[in-house]
Amino acid sequence: MLAGAVLGVVELVFLCVAGPARLIPATRPTCDRIADKLLALERARLATWLGQPTAEAGGGYGFLVVRAAAGLVTGYGVAAGLLLSGLLLFGGSWELLTGASESVPFDFPGVKVISNIGVMGLLTGGFLLVLTLAGALAAGAAERRLADRLLGPSGQERMRRRIAVLTATRSDIVRAVDDERRRIERDLHDGVQQRGIALAMLLGRAQHAADPAKAGELVAQAYTESRRLMDELRSVAWRIYPTALDELGLRAALAGIAERSGVPVSVRYGLTERPVSEIETALYFVVREAISNAIKHAGARDILVVVDEDERTVRAAVSDDGAGGADPSGGGLSGLARRVRALDGAFTVDSPPGGPTRIAATPPKEVPCA
């Protein structure tokens, strides 16, 4: 507030001079350059002391006019409050230490209180100091709102940034879909297709076997292979999209992941109602991929899944005691990040070498386009 008061004085002087000077076309560029420097100082003060980041562009003479008036008023109030409370606190302490404090009687109906000047000075000074600090906090909050309104990006700039974000997330979704298709193709080629070929070969050998006992043995092997093929198909279908997610909801789908996991997985589910389908699907895949990575790459022995919510967002966090070192730019995690960002959500990976690892996704409760 005190720095703002000094800037307010400078801005007031500048505005008084720049008002008439800008009527002369030759002096307008100089006035505008000085105004830009003052705005840069205001942005630095807001970011450094009030924790308020502002846009690189925006603002102007309107902000300087408001800030000059507000800076003088709030700065004077804070400075006067600090000075007066300091004098009262110092004077009261001096009176008490020297023992020269005079008694001060207070007569109330039915009650008579005798105090002294030193105690009254300390009490009044402390109350005034608290009042000054509260006023400074209120003035800081008002300045942050003023900066949001006058120094923030314009409506056109906000629209431009939003379009850029939507363009990037649309491209991310296309890449995520292509990556998922490649993964499905690998699963089908490496698993299902190989078992199908083995099954066909066994049946072909059984068909051409001259010995009935040998043919029966080959048919039994083919039957075993067919069971494995069915299990592989179910596994691939479950990895693509589990029917339990649509039929029973996220809680049941996460319970299924925990049951299929090779290590203990604890699930703490704190949602009061089912999220919308897009949010539910994103959370499911985040949890499933995080658990799979923890088991496959980090050697985790214990995994904790926490799903909770607040007023605006839903959050799924997966923590494990593995070796850590997860790469956020890897194929699996980067695909999850693109999926969550497409919903205007946040995706974070905290995985120092040696562990532990914590992966969190925080999408909004409502789909952005809704």
Half-sphere exposure in the Cβ direction for 227 (13 Å, CA)? 5
CATH number at residue 277: 3.30.565.10
Q: Do 296 and 353 share a structural domain?
A: yes
AA identity, residue 319: S
Question: Is residue 158 in some structural domain?
Answer: no
Residue 58 domain-assigned (yes or no): yes
pLDDT in tens, 34-79: 888 888 888 888 777 777 666 555 557 777 888 888 888 888 888 8
Domain presence at residue 180 = yes
pLDDT digits (tens, 9 = 90+) for 245-274: 777 888 888 888 888 888 898 999 988 888
Shared domain for 120 and 227, answered yes or no, is: no
Q: Is residue 164 part of a domain?
A: no
**Residue whose entry in the numeric block shows the structure tokens 């505005």:** 15
Q: Are residues 275 and 204 in the same domain?
A: no
Q: Which of 240, 264, 292 delimits the end of a domain?
A: 240
Q: For residues 288 and 284, give the distance between their C-alpha atoms in angstroms, rounded to a whole number.
A: 6
My answer on whether 34 and 136 are in the same domain is yes
The reply to whether 31 and 69 lie within a common domain is: yes
In this prediction, residue 129 carries a pLDDT of 93
AA identity, residue 98: T
160-194 pLDDT per residue, tens: 777 777 676 676 666 666 666 777 777 677 777 78
- In this prediction the pTM is 0.52
Q: How many domains does the chain have?
A: 3
The yes-or-no verdict on residue 346 having pLDDT over 80 is yes
Structural domain span for residue 29: 2-152
Under a CB-based contact definition with an 8 Å cutoff, are residues 118 and 93 in contact? yes
Q: What is the dihedral of CA 114, 116, 120, 123, to 10 degrees?
A: -80
Query: Domain end: 200, 225, 240, which one?
Result: 240
**284 and 229 in a common domain:** no
Q: Does residue 55 fall inside a structural domain?
A: yes
For residues 184 and 90, state if they share a domain.
no
Residue 298 belongs to some domain of the structure = yes
Asked if residue 8 and residue 133 are part of one domain, the reply reads: yes
Q: Is the pLDDT of residue 370 over 50?
A: no
In terms of Cα–Cα distance, which of 295, 349, 347 is closest to 322? Answer: 295
Residues 266 and 209 in one domain: no
Greater model confidence, 123 or 163: 123
Q: Is the same domain home to 122 and 34?
A: yes
Q: Tell me: pLDDT of 358 over 80.
A: yes
Q: Please give the C-alpha separations between residue 173 and each of 21, 151, 166, 293, 333, in angstroms, as whole numbers.
A: 54, 33, 10, 21, 14
Do 205 and 146 belong together in one domain?
A: no
At which of 216, 240, 264 does a domain end? 240
Is 369 domain-assigned?
no
Same domain for 53 and 176, yes or no, is: no
User: Residue 368 domain-assigned?
Assistant: no
